[in-house]
Structure formats: structure tokens, C-alpha cells
A and B are shown apart, each in its own frame.
Chain A
């Protein structure tokens, strides 16, 4: 095949170009590498550093803003708030303290989900957080085709109240499963404490074990009194301070409260009652429950009855004052009379 002149020229041109490019590449490569190392690499490093700095700065500022808000939001809340309802977004006039709101949000996001997963799948659940006089309340009602659970907890923080209610609910679930396995009816202790026409609940009420709460800062006095109520077939609870006594009065279905008039150097029996009254008045369901069934109060002290001034209450009935010191037998007779007068 005969090669044409212009093809030769083209071939020579291409070869020359390739040689030139090869030579040029070899000549310029160090410059390209140097350019990359000296310009592109530092620019990329600077870009990453700036991006990292901006991100870190963003999070630090966000934390600062949250902390600032914690210190500036005023707390003025004297009513319950239903956190399950979308309309219950806190409004400025009853914003709750930011740390408590954060705590509640965290409980809702993490712990509630876990708790709900333990309940029957078709459960309709309502729950509320509430606060009055520095004491928090968490209330949960879960209703399904097979179960009806009511659990509530009290404590100095939303988490403490939630954990207390959670513990009650876990016990209820355990009892409910046991009743289901044994083919028995089950009724939540708190729903039993409330008025009901349900025959199963009425049956449970009939076999109700009375509960006595002994409020005394002296462990020996509390033990002696508790042993008597236990002898009479009561379940007993002990409290040595006002806050704990409040939680137990509200959370447990208490029938008798044996109240030492002097609790330590600062607390007195009337404070237990006045603060409990105030708390109950803050919640409609508690008001309803305690109006229907008033625990009997027995004050006891070395003081004379004339020195005892218990505040009037719609939610508690004052039974008697037992003056210390008393012999065990004397206390036994009085406890026995109390039980008989209460229908046990």
C-alpha cells in the first residue's frame, strides 16, 4: 500500500506531538506535583479544619443557648399537664422549668417507649406528669381488650415519679400474667381503690388487705407499732420523713395512717397533713379518690391530745390520739378496736 505524502506528514506530526507531550509531561510533572503539594493539599486541609471548627462551634453554642434557657425560664405551674396531647405544648404562662421539661422529654423519648412495649399491643395508653409543692406525680392508665392497668408514682423529680410508677406497673403486669395463667380475674390495685361497679373488682375489694402507714422518725417506735398492725393482718409501710410519707399516702391504697406528731426537730404531723391536702387538691382524680375513701389518721405522741391540732380535711378522717408511752398490750387493744371500728 502506498503511503500518501499528507499521511506521512500527519504521522510525523502525531509522533512529534506525542514526543513533545512526553517531554513536556516529564518536564512539567515536578511542577504539577509541587503545585498539588503546595496549593491543593493545604487548601483541602484548611477546608476540613474550617468545617470541623464550624461544626464544633455550632454544638458548643447550642449547649450554651440551652444552658442559658435553663436559667432564665420562670417556673409557674400549678396544674397537671397532659403530655400525650399535641395541644399540651407548654404555653408561656405555664411553662415548666426547663430542666424538668427536658427530663420529661427524655423520659417520653426513651423510657416510655420501652414501657409501652411491655403492655398488651392493643392498649390505649394515657399518661400525665404533674407537680405540686415540689412533689412530682406520674400517672399512667392503660386499657386493652384483656387488661386495665392504673399505675402512679411520686417523687422529688419527674424521673423519680416515673420510676416509682414503672415499678408499680411491672408488679401489676406480673400479677396480671399470673392471674391470666391461673384463669382468674385481675383488677389493678389502684382501679380497685376507685369506685367501680365491676363485679370482679368488687370481689377483689372484698378481700382487700388493709394497709397501715406508720410515720415515725424513731425506728424502734415504728417497728413496735408496725408489728401490731401486722398481727392484725395489715400490710404495713414505714416512713421517717414528710416527703416519703406523702409519696406513700398518695401512691398506696392506705387505710390507716399512724402519725408521730414530732418528726425530728423541724417537722410536725400537721405539716404532713396540710401538704398532703394541698397536693390532693391539685389533681381531680386524687380529690375524687380521697373524697370517696378517707384513710383514718391516728396521731401518737408523748404530748397530750389538747396539744395536737390537726388541720381539717375532706380527704382524711381523724380517728384518735394515742398518748405515749404505752405498753404493748394497751397498744394492741387500741389497734384491735380500730380494726373493729373500720370493719376489719
Chain B
């Protein structure tokens, strides 16, 4: 049986009905990773010392992004500085996965410290797009998306600070959910920008994503920013009624996209109309400032979060016989270029005289944007946009054009700034490459979001496994 063609839910059913043993499932995917991942470079650490447990996810292999702490399994964040770091504790989401019997078979490659939109900024080498190995898979959850798209794992966890789940989901033709801020515990997620990021699932079907999201969500006393969220069942998602649903396209963002994306997006609108959805166009003020606001806030927080990597308590240490300042400098040389750029930008923007000019203004834009989006979501059930404004580019092609890469986040950052849930859905192919559309909803409306996603998936067809 070609197990990689089954969805996560189907696999769980197969194991439950004893049609196949959990151990065989795990073995099967470990074997695929070993054989095929050298082409993709989607996994940094393969975990062969797996134990199959009991529960709703019994025997389900999962790939977890390498910025989510896993006790006893090294967690590198895609960085040299954490090359040998083995956390002594599990992230809350990992505890939940294990409790349900899931098996973490690998730690996914990623842009270093989740800083990047292409998957190229990893100290362990770039991840490749399974639909075209010369192209980027999107980032920063590059390995989480690429491995699932290529059937190296049925499902994975990524993290999304400014689009890091949705961008690679869009570039690899997978489904990715960025939950409401606070819906999933961040305990154990190695911070890039705390006030923006969330952990979320990436899968090859909306139902798989809903299934995993239901397991990882929930308030956690170890994360003071986490919140209780409404319960829902898969049935709620399956029974979602699309007829009469009102969707607003944010025209001042959706227009600034490349032609092939525009084409696929307008085809998607047709499919939605066929499903009975009513579509309007709206403009949101300050939407154009979202990207700037995002980079100011993210870099500011990052500059502080990443200060702890000094080699004193964990990770790569410094053995040279110098002053502590020298020793810190020595260790921090191990950061990649993009990480250094963002630390410097952030430190600069928090400095006396610049704080008001950058940080406080960014916070203000963030508030206005949130208010604007919430206002529109009072009249419409969902907001709709393409996920990425461009098609996946060639690996290395944009290394000298960082602005191009930053601009590719323009459509994904609003959801993070506003703390709203957003779902990226495969919308078909253009020029042989996947294109995704993105639905955004009001806080804690994940069930509806997934329901609408499922109706769209039925129209467009469930994504295939990329053949390597």
C-alpha cells in the first residue's frame, strides 16, 4: 500500500482497525525520509528512537519544525548556534502530541530562527520545493511543508510569525493553518517574535489540519498569553454551509500580485461563487503599512529574544581564554547573516531616539490595522487574498534582493499583526507550480475557517503527493 497517499485521518483509521500496525507506518515513513529526503533536505534530525503510544493519534508519524522543543531530541532552530542543543523539556504541543500517541519522526528544516520566507536561510542548507527541486519551498516552515507535500510525513507542525506556515503551504500545495494568537500554547516554541507567532498544523487535507489543530489548541498555564478557545468537532467542520457566506477581498493588497497568481486567484473566486459564496471587495487603510510595522515589531522582539545565545548556559560554548565580551562575540559569530541583520535592525529600532520613531509607530499601525480588520469582519465572515504574491522562485535567485523576499510577506503579516486566524489552501497550479489562497476570520473562528476551507477543497480537489 502507498501509505503516503493516505491522509493522516485515514492512516489513524487504518491503525485503529488493525489493517496495519503502527510500527509499520512509522517504519514506512522513516524509510521514505531516508530514501527521498536527500533530494529535499526537509529534515534536520531524523528520530529513529521512536516509541508508539496510544490515543487519538496512535502511530501517526509527525514532523515537527525544529524551533519547537523536543525533550531528548536536538532542536537547532536551523542555526549553528544551537547545533548541539538538546532541550531538557518538551514544548506543550509536543506533550499533547505524545499524550495522544503521535510519533515525532523528524525535526523539520527551517529558516534560521524562523527568519525567512523561502527556506534558504538555514545553517543546514536550503530546503527544496518538491514540485520543482530548483525552487524554494517557502519559509520559514520550509521542511514542515516540503516533507508533507512529498509524502515524507502525513502531517507536520510549523510556526507562523509573519506567514511562516502559510507561505510554504502555498508554495508546496499544502494546507496550513495559523491559529488565533493565544489559541495554541507557545511554551517550548523558541521565540523569534513572541507577540506575533503561533504554532499550527500543515497537512495535505483540510480535515487533517482540523484534526491536528483540535489536539494542540488550548489554554496553558505555562503561557500567560494563551487563551481558552471554543470547542468544535470535525463534524462541525464537515457540515459547514457555504451558501450565503460573505467574503471580502482586500483589494488594496490582493491587486499587488504577479499575473499567474492573479489568474489562479480569480479562478478561485469563480469556484467560491459556484459554492454559493458572496464576494465583495473592500479596502483597508494602513494595510500597505502592515509590512513595515511587522518588520519593526518582529526585529525588535527578536533582538531581545536572541540575546540569550551567548554560549554560557547551553548550545555551542566558547573555549577561548578571553574576556566575557570577547567570548560572546566569538559565539555570536555563528548566527547566519539574515539573523544578524534582524538583530541589528531590532536593536537599532529600540534605541533611544528611534524607539518612538519606529517601535511606537509600528505598534500604532498594528492597532489601527487590527481595528480595521475587525470592523470588516463584523460585516463579512471571511477575508480573502492570495497567500503569496509571487510563484516560488529559484533557489539562490533572490539572495541579493532581500527586499523582494520581504515584500513577499505583504499578504500574510496582517493576520499576525491582528492576531487573527488564517488558512492557506491549495488553489491549483500555474506554470507547474502551486498557488495558494488565504482565508482570514475573526478570533477563534477556526471551525468556520476550516469549514469554508473544506468546501473550497472539494471544489478544487485535494492535493496530490509530489512525486520525487
Q: Do A and B originate from a single complex?
A: no
Binding site for B on A (CB under 8 A): none
Interface residues of B (CB under 8 A from A): none
